[in-house]
Chains A and B, each alone.
Chain A
């Protein structure tokens, strides 16, 4: 018995409509896919391929070295310092920026008596300033000879005064974290505030009726209500932590003695200062892999939540 199926006029029309939708979707996405291919996927593939070679910016030849660049990274203490610093920046930024952003947003959401817009603007302001300008401002603040920070410390009678804030390998990465927190907390605050304001007020009224106020209300109503916003904020901060470059480049150039080196700056220095593009490519691939894995894990946990 033949299995020939005949389409009813209605299903044929439906199929045609679906086909037409798929075709038009593909056509509409094509330019973006093409751009992504040309500017993201092809360079990414070339980077992976280049990581197996030894060559410089101006080298006339590429020498195949297999996995030597990756093996070198595994035993390179500066690479691990950079990785550790990226992790410090990611964890520190998530805790400080998202944490402080949440606290500030909660304060503003509860309605401070006057000047809410003023405070919101002031706290948000650093994000609209370019990172280079932010770094230059903080360079002046941190200056060991004329900076206001040392003047304050001295004024507080603390002796001996601290060494240069950005010149001491033991503390410089924490100074970078502080500057980053100063710059981005306002952005987190605005994002979380939007989430807070989307929570229906009736929930708080009902909770209050049941005796849940203050911290309890925050814990059982506010936090679950902004869970998705917090997840996005954490994801954005994590990605920023791994992409860190401009602030560090201007503030410390990865120094002193590589103490503030992150993968981004290390890639730059390997490529353009030490003329070792193959190694820079290998570190870029590692950075890409870490970012993809972390991003996927975070998205997965968000979906599960």
Chain B
């Protein structure tokens, strides 16, 4: 009788509300399949999945977290975005919950866990990291004897060659209507020109005021963007073109290359286009950066501090990064999972295998500026990208503007 009583699980609500970004192919399917698997050990579990587009996600999430019915689990990027919710007490400290049997601490390396750490405590679980590469049309390159460039000058030359082949062809469509596209390019240009070590103190505003963002390499990086534009790499109106439109130009093979996130692979695969290959962001001649450093933004899930089911939420996110689920995640989303224990079982596409290997071999990571920088400085960088492309600001004027905002932020935040 007592044994039977021990098997009875007290009835309780086990519905979890989860917010994710929309537009990531395979992600919703992965979560739905994971829900079915999770229900085998948690029969009452029910997932309420809500998907929001990128821009509205960033604005609606803080409001929801401040409200009375926040999502229990929510997607977030590592870095400033995640740290903000941790500092403001909106994201749950899941250090102890993650250390329980089956918790994410047993599945993920310390390096991965650190991406959502603040003062040694875990405020999130990384699921994967996104990177960016040049995707190129193999057939077009082969037909015109073009080769992927390894240097910046080679990239400039490549754009010019493509324009010579067909002047109306846009070598590298740039959809900067949401501003983050050029920001990603400038992120890499800064790294390649200056190197991570020379930017760290500026990026976290700890450099002395008289030195903050004064390295001439920043201007040089912006100038490289102008050089690319002058070489005819981009179309006429990058600031008025949406990222989706730019992706479509590559997908429709009217443009032979694009600088796209690893998430793009899933989009292209879904649309049946597999005739592409990839190459890294080239090194810059004389630059201080590491040519093997890769654009890398960890992302994952946080749990709302107000969640009514913190333990269940922690079990759920830990389950999502378990060995088996990580394999399925990689298969369905073409993402590089944080838990790579069974990565060889993924059997992904040629492109997936390429960037998974490349990320594993990278000797450094480059965090994207609009996630890394303090919000006002990040905005300044985003706006400067628009103005430099529009030629309403020169590279020097762009940096003067950014430095001015950075000085204000440094004073306001008291960073020494």
Contacts and interface: CB of A to CB of B under 8 A. Distances in A.
A257 B386 contact: yes
Given A56-B62, A145-B245, A168 B375 contact: no
5 contacts: A56-B62, A143-B241, A255-B177, A257-B392, A275-B84
A145 B66 contact: no
Given A143-B240, A167-B241, A57 B179 contact: no
Contacts of B239: 163-164, 167-168, 255-256
B375 to A, nearest CB: 5
A59 interface: yes
Contact of B62 (A144, A164, A167, A275): A275
B237 interface: yes
The list of the 10 closest CB pairs from A to B, nearest first, reads: A164-B240, A167-B240, A164-B237, A167-B239, A144-B237, A272-B59, A257-B383, A257-B386, A256-B386, A57-B62
Given A145-B237, A161-B236, A256-B240, 18 more contacts: A56-B62, A58-B62, A58-B88, A60-B89, A160-B236, A163-B239, A164-B236, A167-B177, A167-B237, A167-B386, A169-B386, A170-B390, A253-B178, A255-B383, A256-B386, A257-B392, A274-B375, A274-B376
A165 B240 contact: yes
B300 interface: no
Contact of B387 (A60, A143, A169): A169
A273 interface: yes
A142 interface: yes
Interface in B198-248: 235-241, 245
A164 B89 contact: no
Contacts of B240: 142-144, 163-168, 256
A168 B236 contact: no
Contacts of A163: 236-237, 239-240, 390
B412 to A, nearest CB: 9
Interface string A152-176: 0000000011011111111000000
For the side of the interface on A, what is the size category? 20 to 34
B404 to A, nearest CB: 10
A51 interface: no
Nearest to A252: B177
B55 interface: yes
B299 interface: no
A254 to B, nearest CB: 10
A181 interface: no
Contact of B236 (A58, A144, A272, A275): A144
Contacts of B134: none
B141 interface: no
Interface string B44-67: 000000000001001110110110
A258 interface: yes
B379 interface: yes
B113 interface: no
Nearest to B387: A257
A56 B61 CA distance: 13
A145 B235 contact: yes
Contact of B88 (A60, A142, A145, A257): A60
A144 B88 CA distance: 42
A268 B56 CA distance: 12
